[in-house]
Chain A
Amino acid sequence: MRIAVANRLTPYLFMAPAVVIMAIALMYPLGYMIWGSFRDWSPSQTIGEAEFVGLKNYVTLWGDPNFWESLSVTLTFAFFVVTLEMLIGVGLALLLDRNIRGMSVLRTLFILPMMIAPVVVGLMWRYMYHPTVGTFNRMLDSLGLPTVDWLGNHALMSVIIADIWQWTPFIFILALAALQSLPRSALEAARIDGATAWQQIWHIKLPLMMPVLIVTGLLRLIDAFKVLEVILVMTEGGPGLSTEILALRISRTATEFRELGVAAAMSNYLLILLLALTLAMFAFTRLQEARAARIRAAVEEES
């Protein structure tokens, strides 16, 4: 009896350290943030001294055009980077999925941008975008073309380009892995059935890669909502609010405007958005598993 109880408790004992660390490292700050979001709280106060204001911070944000501007910048940014990165990454994977000499070197080169620290990426691109001495404008100039005010009038486009440069490789390697695990003989059968290269991609490769691509896209989307460093280094959100993504606005609200409560409330809005996306991803994988299980059950029933 005693032994049975002990046996039942053993796994929890082993899990306990992880749970404690989780509680301290994740739950505590999270709870702190949620608690703080209900208060009118300035950095000079302890949380206990701050006045409880209920949902006021959330309501204020709801009516704050700057918050909506920032949210729309975030959504625009996320939409464009994920769409373009998916198109380019998958396209490159389809193009480079062949055995030519030197291909493995090329593939390694392609994933380099992903390995560079974001701050370095930001600095590098800021330099390249510089209006007079930057790489791009000097190149345009030497070709006799008009220069572009990269981080001025076209700031959002410029940060989108930088993000695409950095994160397309992520999609590329996942898409390539998905491609190379496709059943070879099904593709050969398609060739014999008369499919051109395009038709093979459209009718066989893409549909079979779809589960991987959907999860990859969702991962990228979640990441794009949280982007901070590269933009911080490149534009600091400017000019105006044109590149002020939510993460940046949160940080400014807390440090410049000294309104920790509002910043916390904004974080929670972002958290809810990300949670919804994550749930969508889980729901999708669950759906897939359920379908696979159903198919297996159907087969077993017959045999």
Chain B
Amino acid sequence: MPTIQLDNLIKRYGEVEVLHGIELEMADNEFTVLVGPSGCGKSTTLRMVAGLEDVTEGEIYVDGKPVSHLEPKDRDLAMVFQDYALYPHMNVAQNISFALRLARRPKAEVHAKVKEVADMVGLTDFLHRKPGALSGGQRQRVAMARALAKDSGIFLFDEPLSNLDAKLRGQLRAELALMSQRVEKNMIYVTHDQIEAMTLADRIVVMHGGYIQQQGSPEALFKRPVNKFVAGFLGMPPMNFLNGEIKEEAGDVFVKGNGFSLRLQDEKAQAAKAHRVREVVLGVRPSDLVFDAEAPSDQALTLDVMVSEYVGAQSVLLCQCGADQVTVEMNSETPMALGQTLRFRITPNRVHLFDRESEDAIQSK
């Protein structure tokens, strides 16, 4: 299936520039997720790929060929919209087969295809219903089936699950993951839900304010975020940030802040030493803090537990560290009382350092 390349894409609405040079390459059969907060330009990027939005500057290449002058129908793509965008006056079968009928495919082929994709998404019993007589989840499946029936190489999704309730969303997300393994397509998926992004993506592209912040595999982005925005955006509950300063004492490198003094190890120490700026932000994920009363004080945070949010097997503790709030994720079985002051060991090498000024990550190259 085709490769897609976005070359320095710029989008302006009148005077306002909303995308500032998007550079992206998507390989064969890749599931790319564009993720970012509301208004960051995800939909705009996707709609430019689809041809629903004009390209102001730059170019889109599909298999090396520029396509930005082509109509949507000539771009070999299918799209699933956030509001489903079904044709209200056609029944499910007609919705699914619309593209095939426009292409004047033989009746038997159309029929077979409708049956095949309806089976795939579990709509066989609803083929004669109009969209108005379907539930939200069923409509979403029709939208999916309609896109699948087209058999095009590129598959675009614009927040397809965001109008559904949490349970249904989880279920459809799993089905989508399954489907993406079965069909060989190049998929671009827009969402602002980072769980969808992490679970579905081969490659995540984090966008913010019309810029790409970082792209890579979910694991790479989670483990080595390049800046504070990406670090804070991915992961639930979000990463804790504490202001601190780099200090060198007797050959060791410390991050010191209000209520903590942490000795950096190995690679982190190297990077911090090489970096000239002393004012930093320390980032620690809630899951990297482990309750351990015996931990050495330069490898731990001492926190006052304020609130405990029980969410089943895990609990989320809201704690105080100096003037800052810190969340900790821990096993609910651990006995614990509110108001206690406890010590949490930081998993070695799982701390993140950011330049307080530029917010870029401080890491060895």
B81 & A303 in contact (Cβ 8 Å cutoff): no
Residue of B nearest to A199 (CB): B102
Query: In the complex, how many residues of chain A place their beta carbon closer than 8 angstroms to a beta carbon of chain B?
Result: 23
> 10 tightest CB-CB pairs across the interface, nearest first?
A185-B85, A193-B99, A194-B73, A189-B85, A207-B89, A192-B72, A295-B132, A191-B72, A185-B81, A194-B102
Q: Which of A190, A191, A192, A302 has the most CB of B within 10 A?
A: A192
Inter-chain contacts of B99 with A (CB < 8 A) = 193-194
The answer to whether A192 and B50 touch across the interface, beta carbons within 8 angstroms, is yes
Say whether chain A's binding surface is mostly helix, strand, loop, or mixed: helix
Seen from chain B, the residues whose Cβ lies within 8 Å of a Cβ on chain A are 50-52, 71-73, 77-79, 81-89, 98-99, 102-103, 130, 132-135, 146, 150
Q: 8 Å CB contacts to B: which residues of A187-204?
A: 188-196, 199, 203-204
Q: For the complex, is A183 an interface residue (Cβ under 8 Å from B)?
A: yes
- Choice from B71, B87, B135 contacting A299 with Cβ under 8 Å: B135
Quick check: is A186 within 8 A (CB to CB) of the other chain?
yes
Residues of chain B with a CB closer than 8 A to A185's CB: 81-85
| Contact B52–A186 (Cβ < 8 Å) | no
Judge whether B81 and A189 touch: CB under 8 Å.
yes
- In the complex, A4 has a CB within 8 A of chain B: no
> What 0/1 pattern do residues 129 to 162 of A give for CB contact below 8 A with B?
0000000000000000000000000000000000
- Give residues in A with beta carbon < 8 Å to B: 183, 185-186, 188-196, 199, 203-204, 207-208, 292, 295, 298-299, 302-303
C-alpha spacing A192/B133, complex, angstroms: 24
A200 CA / B261 CA spacing, docked (Å): 66
Contact of A189 among B51, B79, B103 (CB under 8 A): B79
Query: Are B88 and A208 neighbours in the complex by a CB distance under 8 Å?
Result: yes
Say how far A196's CB is from chain B's closest CB, in angstroms: 8
* CB contact under 8 A between A188 and B134, given known A194-B99, A207-B89, A208-B88: no
> B83 to A191, Cβ gap below 8 A?
no
Whether the pair B52, A299 counts as a contact (CB closer than 8 A) is no
Q: Known contacts A191-B72, A192-B78; is A186 also within 8 Å of B88 by CB? A: yes
In the bound complex, what is the Cα–Cα distance between A191 and B84 (angstroms)? Answer: 14
A residues within 8 A CB of B135?
299, 302-303
Nearest A residue (CB) for B98: A193
Q: How many Å lie between the Cα of A191 and that of B50 in the bound state?
A: 10
Q: Residue on B with the closest CB to A182?
A: B88
| Residues in chain B near residue A195, CB distance under 8 A | 73, 98, 102
Among A192, A292, A298, which residue has its beta carbon within 8 angstroms of that of B73?
A: A192
A197 nearest CB across to chain B (Å): 10
Residues of B with C-beta under 8 A to A194: 73, 99, 102-103
